[in-house]
Amino acid sequence: MPTKDIPLRERKAARTRLNLARTLATQLEHHSLDTVAVRDLCTEVEISEATFFNYFPRKTDLLAYLGRLWTLELQWHASQAAMEKPGLAAIEAVFLAAARQVQAHPQAWGEWIAWQAQQREKPDAAPLSEAEKRLGFPDCPGIETLEEQRLDGLLANQLTRAIDRGELPPNTPLPVVMAALIAQFYGVILIMKQTQPGAVAAQFRQQLQLLWAGVRGLTRGGAGT
């Protein structure tokens, strides 16, 4: 994906932030966030600590940024699946893309989930730039056009479309199903990341099949009304 139309300063800043995120993901496979040293990240990326703190005032800001990059990639996979078949197929695309990310960085995903669980509110952050999107995901055409979404919002949107398409009954209890989806997503990752990260995709498929069957059975009896 060509980026020469983006000013050089923006490209350099984007590459620095992206390289820091990738380096953190690698470091978290061997160390906890608390023990990862900023100076080691800076040495690896070849920047000063002052430059690091100019971009990320705290290490947790870098972890949050890494999570935003992962979520944007999940959003792109959902958008691609939704072009042909929105709804349940797009939800499955999100889960399977996440499974691939977890397989590559299981411990980093665990650190990100643990950090999110401690947050009382969404941190303020500037939107990802076009340079970050295009340089970070050169194999994802059109990703620069996506506006960032939270994972729950992304799944809720596709769940609504599944109901509209008749994939799920019209009386599907959205809050209940959303809670189950989020629980499955994070729960499977936390349970399997340590010992079986490569099996997350298969477990996701099984759990989703069970959930959809349960929703159809529940609403068929009128319990969701």
Tell whether 214 is covered by a domain.
Answer: yes
Tell whether 53 is covered by a domain.
Answer: no
What's the pTM value of the predicted model, to 2 decimals?
A: 0.92
Tell whether 150 is covered by a domain.
Answer: yes
Tally the domains of the chain: 1
The CATH number for 211's domain is 1.10.357.10
Determine the Cα–Cα distance for residues 28 and 132; give it in Å rounded to an integer: 22
Residue 126 DSSP one-character state: P
Tell whether 18 is covered by a domain.
Answer: no
pLDDT reading at 221 higher than 70: no
What is the longest distance spanned by two Cα atoms in the chain?
63
Tell whether 32 is covered by a domain.
Answer: no
Determine the Cα–Cα distance for residues 166 and 4; give it in Å rounded to an integer: 45
Domain residue limits at 77: 60-220
Nearest to 198 by CA among 67, 96, 76, 88: 96
What would the pLDDT profile of 178-211 be if each residue is shown by its tens digit?
A: 999 999 999 999 999 989 999 999 999 999 999 9
Tell whether 159 is covered by a domain.
Answer: yes
